[in-house]
Amino acid sequence: MPTVSIPRKEQIETAATDLFKSRGYAATSMRHIASKVGIEAASIYSHLKSKEHILIKICFKMAKEFIEGIKLVQKTNVTSEAKFKAAVISHVNIITGDIAASAVFWNEWRHLSEPLLSEFVAMQREYEQAFKLIIEQGVNEGVFEVRDISFTVMAMLSSLNGIQKWHNYTLPPEELNEAFATFFAQGIRKQVEE
């Protein structure tokens, strides 16, 4: 039974992603990546154009996944609370689906150079905006109540994107979903009396 070997290009990208997460992009050298794969640094350039191109691929792959996820949620025809929870769950699933890439996406994007840097930031804003709209809908329907929508979105996204730093995964991914969705939904639910 011959095992299907992983393409070298993918091996390099995976090794780089792990190293970018643990050491940071700037502190990771092409020699570190090559050594992890078992080849020489110069050989990487047979498969990939540059160190930054690896970073670009990781960052934009994740950004696209997040945006795609929330667009799917927007199209569904459910209550605003269900939509909100679905958006949170989508986000958690993408992160737990690739923790290393999520860490690079969140911590290393500043090392992108123009014009891709601006393009990346624009995608982040687009994503935040989509989240805002979902919350706004709930506010208009009287099920949510927030002090400031921008605050709420930033607080939530910081929390979710912080998962990649947790030393302590007490909950399995499926439960993490629900825990976040409930925690946040309750945090913005309109209080009947206080």
Partner DNA sequence: CCTACCGATCGGTAGG
Chain positions contacting DNA, by CB under 7 A: 8, 28-32, 34, 39-43, 45-47, 50-52
50 binds a copy of itself, rule: CB under 8 A: no
Nearer to a copy of itself, 11 or 124 (CB): 124
CB-nearer residue toward a copy of itself: 116 or 155:
155
Cα of first residue to Cα of last residue in the chain, in angstroms, is: 66
Is the alpha carbon torsion for 110, 111, 114, 117 positive or negative? Answer: negative
Alpha carbon distance 9, 63 (integer Å): 21
Interatomic CA distance for residues 96 and 102, integer angstroms: 8
# of chain residues touching a copy of itself (CB under 8 A): 42
77 — phi, psi (to 5°)? -110, 75
Q: Which does 52 bind (CB under 5 to 8 A by kind): DNA, a copy of itself, none?
A: DNA
Query: Could you say whether residue 133 binds a copy of itself (CB under 8 A)?
Result: no
Distance CA 6, CA 9 (A): 8
Provide the binding-site residues for a copy of itself, judged by CB under 8 A: 22-27, 107, 110-111, 147-148, 150-152, 154-163, 165-166, 168, 170-171, 175-176, 178-180, 182-184, 186-189, 191
